[in-house]
Homo-oligomer: A and B are copies of this chain.
Amino acid sequence: MSRLTHLDESGAAHMVDVGHKAETQRRAVAQARVLMQPETLRLLLEGGHAKGDVFAVARVAGIQAAKKCSDLIPLCHPLMLNAVDVSFTADEASSSVLIEAGCSVSGKTGVEMEALTAASVAALTIYDMCKAVDRAMAIQHIVLQRKEGGKSGTWQRDQQEL
């Protein structure tokens, strides 16, 4: 752990060269959590269509954001995602929605940023759709849960971390 890979010796940013890396199957899973008032969660969950629509809109936003990752994060490489999925779990105990986003690629570089971006934008979309009733919502704990593939192999988040 000596220096940041996205900076050259002079400290200038660049896109790290991945030309020599092998193309392998890679996958990453990220999470985010949106905390809200219990009443807000109730509104999100009630009704049939409504529930479908709020999560459906946030899911599409997350999927589309994964595809835009290299346009959002300046030093990310463009890549061709094989799959993206975004799921939502309402947790009434903590009055929150847990978002989990998974991305897969056959490529030279990992998809951690794609999964984190998908989870973040899905969370922001839920915020947007609920903000008129609950401005104080907070997006918490956007983290990488797991990555597979590539030279460094599998990494699994230790639940005690941070």
Using a CB–CB cutoff of 8 Å, the interface residues on chain A facing chain B are 1, 3-8, 10-19, 25, 35, 39, 43-44, 47-57, 59-61, 63-65, 67-68, 70-87, 104-108, 112-113, 116-117, 120-121, 123-125, 127-133, 135-144, 147, 155, 157-158, 161-162
Contact = CB atoms under 8 A, between A and B. Distances in A.
Interface of A is mostly: mixed
A43 to B, nearest CB: 6
Contact of A72 (B52, B65, B81): B65
Given A11-B53, A161-B136, A17 B75 contact: no
Count of chain copies: 6
Given A17-B83, A112-B135, 12 more contacts: A4-B43, A11-B51, A12-B85, A14-B59, A52-B56, A63-B75, A77-B82, A82-B108, A116-B127, A120-B142, A123-B142, A140-B140
B144 A4 contact: no
